């Protein structure tokens, strides 16, 4: 379903309450059971907010990430760095905190997932539990959101590697999203220790829809993605939602289907940056999962949240999709079938990098700026 142009969408009156300031390009956030908030900064730092106050010093113990990020390369001149964060569902028992980040150099890099135990002051026992199985050049399209499912398995979004003329194996790298054995352009599903769940759709040699002649990697949960930077789980309906970047237009909201092929780059509404011509010959085709929403006016989607609870009844059950280019949040109301029925704009006035519901039931956004902010957003009325 194509979204109306931004100028035709209703703009809601909202209040923006600054909660934290002085963050450098924050990327992801996650609350601990005691209410403290962990925030990643893309240059390779982890910050903590206690009782509403940002600790002046970063959390200790991230030296492995700081070294792997190679901040003067993968952060400063590209899209890499320290990315998302997720707290283990049983953190009080395990102490594990999970991170996704770019590892390597401009010539050879990949997305990694690691975990470490957090004791309230520092990280210990650093473990890399997953690394993308193809090294790539350049600094584009790492993904990478982390999302826990109710069964305590972890979804990890991985970007397709970049735009033309970037190539791999003699072809444009974005075609890796359709390569069954590659992790690029996929959503990966892992156990909490990084092992592969036996009920993954392609585990045990099970063939997948349009998987081709080569076996699909057993870690793959869904394929045909460009660069997912928003994922959220709706516990009421048991749905996994994702937002991903198109190229020139064609940003998407998808309801992810285990084992599903979501089309990129052989089925897409996107156009080429260089020529403006369609990336794909078709926008829909049998055997491919179609998006639930397509934004032809680029919003550059980022974090995604499903608001639950009674704190803001007017927004309960709605999707909230951040936008980097849109400099705000899109509120999407759904019907019982999971179809978008209305869309409105919540203006923020800055690049929105992440959107999350806090343990207090409120909606929070991170702004992607050299001095980024954590804002609480709610209806003005």
Rounded distance between C-alpha atoms, residue 64 and residue 112, angstroms: 12
Q: What is the pLDDT of residue 62?
A: 85
Based on the residue annotation, tell me whether 179 is a catalytic residue of this protein: no
Q: What is the pLDDT of residue 211?
A: 44
Q: Do 327 and 298 form a contact (C-beta atoms < 8 A)?
A: no
Q: Give me the average pLDDT of each 10-residue run along the chain (381 residues).
A: 80 96 96 97 94 95 61 64 96 97 89 96 95 94 96 98 94 97 98 97 67 78 98 97 95 97 97 94 96 95 96 96 97 95 97 97 96 96 77
Distances (CA, A) of 163 to 38, 95, 171: 32, 38, 11
The single residue of 103, 141, 183, 262 carrying the catalytic annotation is 141
Backbone angles phi, psi at 132, to 5 degrees: -55, 140
Half-sphere exposure of 267 (CA within 13 A, CB side): 18
Record: fold of 25-298: Neuraminidase (2.120.10)
- Residue of 324, 96, 115 whose CA lies nearest to 230: 324
Q: CB under 8 Å to 184, separation ≥6 — which residues?
A: 132, 134, 136, 158, 159, 160, 161, 168, 173, 176, 177
Q: What is the pLDDT of residue 64?
A: 58
Q: What is the pLDDT of residue 7?
A: 72
Domain layout of the chain by residue ranges: 25-298
- The first and second tokens of residue 27, run together, are 């990327």
What pTM was estimated for this model as a whole? 0.95
Q: What is the pLDDT of residue 214?
A: 67
């Amino acid at each position: 379903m194509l979204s109306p142009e931004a100028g035709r969408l209703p703009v809601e009156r909202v209040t923006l309450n600054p909660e934290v300031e002085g963050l450098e390009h924050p990327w992801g956030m996650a609350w601990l059971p005691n209410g403290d908030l962990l925030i990643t900064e893309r240059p390779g730092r982890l910050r903590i907010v206690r009782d509403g106050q940002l600790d002046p010093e970063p959390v200790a113990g991230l030296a492995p990430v700081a070294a792997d990020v190679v901040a003067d390369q993968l952060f400063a001149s590209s899209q890499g760095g320290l990315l998302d964060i997720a707290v283990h569902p049983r953190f009080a028992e395990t102490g594990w905190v999970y991170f996704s980040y770019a590892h390597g150099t401009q010539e050879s890099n990949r997305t990694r997932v690691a975990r470490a135990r957090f004791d309230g002051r520092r990280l210990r026992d650093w473990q890399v539990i997953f690394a993308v199985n193809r090294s790539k050049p350049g600094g584009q399209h790492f993904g990478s959101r982390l999302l826990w499912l109710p069964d305590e398995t972890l979804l990890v979004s991985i970007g397709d590697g970049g735009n033309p003329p970037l190539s791999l194996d003699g072809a444009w790298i974005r075609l890796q999203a359709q390569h069954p054995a590659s992790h690029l352009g996929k959503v990966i599903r892992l156990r909490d220790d990084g092992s592969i769940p036996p009920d993954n759709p392609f585990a045990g040699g099970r063939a997948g829809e349009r998987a081709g002649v080569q076996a699909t990697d057993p870690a793959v949960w869904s394929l045909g993605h460009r660069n997912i930077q928003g994922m959220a789980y709706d516990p009421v309906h048991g749905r996994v939602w994702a937002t991903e970047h198109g190229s020139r237009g064609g940003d998407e909201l998808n309801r992810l289907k285990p084992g599903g092929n979501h089309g990129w780059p052989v089925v897409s509404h996107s156009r080429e940056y260089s020529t403006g011509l369609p990336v794909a010959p078709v926008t829909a085709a049998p055997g491919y999962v179609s998006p639930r929403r397509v934004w032809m006016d680029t919003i550059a989607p980022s974090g995604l949240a499903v608001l639950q609870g009674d704190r803001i009844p007017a927004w309960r059950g709605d999707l909230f999709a951040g936008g980097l280019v849109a400099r705000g949040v899109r509120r999407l109301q759904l019907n019982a079938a999971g179809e978008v029925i209305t869309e409105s704009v919540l203006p923020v006035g800055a690049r929105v990098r992440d959107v999350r519901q806090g343990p207090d039931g409120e909606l929070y956004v991170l702004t992607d700026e050299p001095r980024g902010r954590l804002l609480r957003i709610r209806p003005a009325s």
